[in-house]
Amino acid sequence: MANVSYEEYQKQQAARQAANGGNQKPVHFMNEWLAKDGDFVVVRFPYTSPADIQFESVHNVVGVFPGDKFGKSVRCTGTDDCPLCNSKDEAVQKRKLKFYAKFVVYNPTSTGAELCATVWERPSGFADIDLKNLMVEYGDLSNYLFKIVRTGKGTDTRYNIIPVNMASPVYSQPVYTTKDFTCLEGIDATKILSKSIEQYNQALNPTDNTTQHSTVEDFKVPESKEVDDALGLPPQQTQNVVTSQPTTHTEVQQPTQTVNTSGPTRYKF
């Protein structure tokens, strides 16, 4: 497969959007927010308990999808006839558990912040260790703001999750304290960030009309790894470190918080 230039990538996205009636919901990728060392975003996770955390078993395939220089995750069928479980290539045969996170990013504006739906493919440890440790400390994560900070670059990149002091002048503003997950509705992070076996088969045999229905998933949003590749960025690294800050714990529990009484939608993966 030929690599896709960024210009070509944008053309493809425009075509997909047009094909989808222009109703595409804006979805952002973490590499847009955390492009370099020191970048950070303030986020709100929709996860209320460990029951909201679900993993996906995927195979990593390289050289099948356009712009997948670093590989693309293809979801295991979970059945004995999964073609990738039966691959002769040991690297492809190997399954990995991934967590497909979605959350709200607060993009600062002159009047406050714009709430942006964001998806992120993470190794399972992000949820199994980092998010669950935060749940032990804070319980329902949807009541809090966290800062995700990127440090380092290339293979030395790591992401720290730090609780935000919600009593501070900036983060005690209603735009931050009001719990609003509207922008996440209908967004399936797993389907956005990984491919189905049908899409894999079609990528192998693009002229095979029998599998074309699977491209419906393609119309939703761009693929993050295509963006990575088009921008010449290194693959995101897998290390996550939770920075424990017990002193901020009491601060974030102050009753300055405004909680949307309609309650959060529970997002399952």
Residues binding Zn ion (CB under 5 A): 76, 82, 84-85
Residue 30 CA to residue 155 CA, distance in Å, equals 16
- For residues 61 and 84, which CB has a smaller minimum distance to Zn ion in the complex? 84
Residue 208 CA to residue 202 CA, distance in Å, equals 7
- For residues 59 and 150, which CB has a smaller minimum distance to Zn ion in the complex? 59
- For residues 68 and 228, which CB has a smaller minimum distance to Zn ion in the complex? 68
Residue 205 CA to residue 200 CA, distance in Å, equals 9
Report yes or no: 181 and 265 within 8 Å, Cβ to Cβ.
yes
- For residues 86 and 245, which CB has a smaller minimum distance to Zn ion in the complex? 86
Closest approach of Zn ion to the CB of residue 95, in Å? 6
Closest approach of Zn ion to the CB of residue 101, in Å? 22
Strands (E), the chain: 28-29, 40-44, 56-61, 72-75, 95-109, 112-123, 146-151, 158-163, 240-242
Tokens of 107: 């993009």
Residue 32 CA to residue 189 CA, distance in Å, equals 16
CA angle 140, 141, 144 (to 5 degrees): 115
- For residues 92 and 101, which CB has a smaller minimum distance to Zn ion in the complex? 92
Closest approach of Zn ion to the CB of residue 25, in Å? 30
Which DSSP letter does residue 260 get? Answer: -
Closest approach of Zn ion to the CB of residue 72, in Å? 14
Closest approach of Zn ion to the CB of residue 87, in Å? 8
Residue 143 CA to residue 23 CA, distance in Å, equals 30
Amino acid present at 48: T
- For residues 76 and 149, which CB has a smaller minimum distance to Zn ion in the complex? 76
Closest approach of Zn ion to the CB of residue 83, in Å? 8
